[in-house]
């Protein structure tokens, strides 16, 4: 006996492959000014895992210290850290 096709059977029964959701790409920062990257003064902070070495200022050993040449970029006029 032939098997009866049930109403509402899945797409696989009809020979179609169900679609998988497309993974979303991470959204870029929406802010107008981006964090500096590849600065001449960059020195990787060895206390962080090596995978963090993306040459962004937040991973520099001088970040938010008096040794930072770019500190005016991170501190607003009231002395508060931005971001």
Q: How many domains does the chain have?
A: 1
Whether 21 is in a domain gets the answer no
Let me know if 53 is exposed, middle or buried by CB neighbors in 10 A (0-12, 13-18, 19+): middle
Q: What's the angle, vertex CA 41, arms to CA 40 and CA 42, rounded to 5?
A: 95
Whether 82 is in a domain gets the answer no
Q: How much is the pLDDT for 47?
A: 94
Per the DSSP assignment, residues forming a β-bridge with 60 are: 44
Range of the domain at 54: 35-77
pLDDT digits (tens, 9 = 90+) for 6-43: 555 445 556 676 666 655 545 444 444 577 788 899 99
Whether 24 is in a domain gets the answer no
Percent of residues, the chain, with pLDDT higher than 70: 57
- DSSP letter at 45? -
Percent of residues, the chain, with pLDDT higher than 90: 33
Whether 56 is in a domain gets the answer yes
Q: CA separation (Å) from 5 to 10, 13, 30, 70? A: 10, 9, 51, 69
Which tops the pLDDT comparison, 2 or 35? Answer: 35
Whether 46 is in a domain gets the answer yes
């Amino acid at each position: 006996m032939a098997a009866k096709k049930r109403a509402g059977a899945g797409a696989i029964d009809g020979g179609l492959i169900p679609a998988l959701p497309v993974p979303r790409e991470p959204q870029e920062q929406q802010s107008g000014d981006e964090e500096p990257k590849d600065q001449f003064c960059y020195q990787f902070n060895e206390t962080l895992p090596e995978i963090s070495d993306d040459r962004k200022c937040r991973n520099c050993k001088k970040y938010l210290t008096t040794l930072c040449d770019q500190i005016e970029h991170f501190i607003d006029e009231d002395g508060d850290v931005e971001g």
